[in-house]
Structure 1
Amino acid sequence: MSPEQARATLRDADCLYSRDAVETAIDRLAERSAQVLKDRNPLVLGVMNGGVVLMGGLLTRWSFPMQVDYLHATRYRGGTRGGEQLHWLARPQTPIQGRTVVIVDDILDGGITLEGIQAFCEEQGAEKVYSVVLVEKANPERDPAITVDFAALEVPDRYVFGYGMDYEDYLRNAPGIFAVANQ
């Protein structure tokens, strides 16, 4: 995709949530999740690259003690369809053993990536693992057993981008949440 194609994709896309609507949803998400996490001294793991925007938003809204680290695990590798295997680019450096871990990611779609990251944290001895995402997609193909603990918004079963979510490695910085046109 070229920058010109990215501009055209954004121009033609359907805006599902404006910047203001997303920020309000993140406010509510931070309040709900803080009630559960505030006394747990969590290790908060941001999933790169998609989770970076939500992670930043939550860190500025949460006022309880925590440690922060990141990981980079993907199935997409810049494409619009994920492969079967989770590809690790970076694992957390902070010890997970005995910790409450909070995974912060952009989207729950098929759930395979999130499920793999949760399994990794459990294998490393996490006491409890919570998942927080910006959007939960209404994906009829997702195993109903795969869920998240906290989601800010719901989106239809369309390809979405913005606020950390990409379209062919572009548009993570779109000022809202958009769905690709004609999908």
Structure 2
Amino acid sequence: MSQISNQEIEKTLRNSECLISSIEVAAAYERLAAQLNLHYAGLNPIVMVVMNGGLIPAGQLLTHLTFYHRMHYIHATRYRENEGTNELIWKYKPDVNLEGEHVLLIDDIFDEGITLKAIVEDLKNENPASINCCVLLNKEHDRKVQDFNVDFIGLNVADRYVYGCGMDFHGYLRHLPGIYAIKED
């Protein structure tokens, strides 16, 4: 991933619009946490953060969870220099036994779902009791993978290149508390 100058990042921010405010995002985290607390009460799941994008949504959600859980992370990608490929590369595969466990994957966005579906299919080989997926955003379009759905969704967003709340702009701006996109002409 190549470095972008501070001037280029600032220019991007000036030419962007906020699609979902930090207040709306915070409310979505509260709704998601309430759903997760009901679903996982008494189940003692393993919560797995899908790196890098899932880091911020997981960090926000975890402080609101009332059920007992263990934490872990995974890192798999199909992207090279912000371009999607067909190959799933495991950068860090879980080193915990998932057999008979309830697993909750937390990620930033359900876009086409290719990567998340491949992760779930791979983890199913370890015979967990259940695997559920939680994402902050669901991108609205008709290019989703077949036979795969996300179980918990915070917000829907238009079919645009978005960043903030874990999603990046060429490796930057994941830290923004709202959801942003370059202004459309």
Query: TM-score normalised to the size of structure 1?
Result: 0.94
Size of the alignment, in residue pairs?
Answer: 182
Q: What 5-or-longer segments of structure 1 have no aligned partner?
A: none
Q: Give the drift of 1:78.
A: 4.0
Map of 1:75 onto structure 2 = 78
Q: What 5-or-longer segments of structure 2 have no aligned partner?
A: none
Please tell me the root mean square deviation across aligned C-alpha atoms, in Å: 1.4
Q: Give the drift of 1:174.
A: 1.6
Whole-Å separation in 2 of the counterparts to 1:139 and 1:155 = 9
Matched, 1:62 2:101: no
Map of 1:150 onto structure 2 = 152
Q: How does 1:90-169 map to 2 (within 5 A)?
A: 90-169=92-171
- Give the ranges of 4+ consecutive aligned residues of structure 1 lying more than 2 Å apart after TM superposition: 143-146, 180-183
Q: Give the drift of 1:21.
A: 1.1
Is the contact made by 2:25 and 2:177 (CA closer than 8 Å) also made in structure 1?
A: no
Aligned mate of 1:175, from 170, 174, 177: 177
Instruction: Name the one with the larger strand percent.
Output: 2
Identical-residue share of aligned pairs (%): 38
Q: Give the drift of 1:168.
A: 0.7
Q: Give the drift of 1:144.
A: 4.9
Whole-Å separation in 2 of the counterparts to 1:11 and 1:76 = 26
Give per-residue Cα distances to partners, 1:75-103, cap 9 Å, x unaligned.
12341x31111111001122111101000
Whole-Å separation in 1 of the counterparts to 2:160 and 2:81 = 17
Query: TM-score normalised to the size of structure 2?
Result: 0.93
Deviates most, 15-24 or 143-152: 143-152
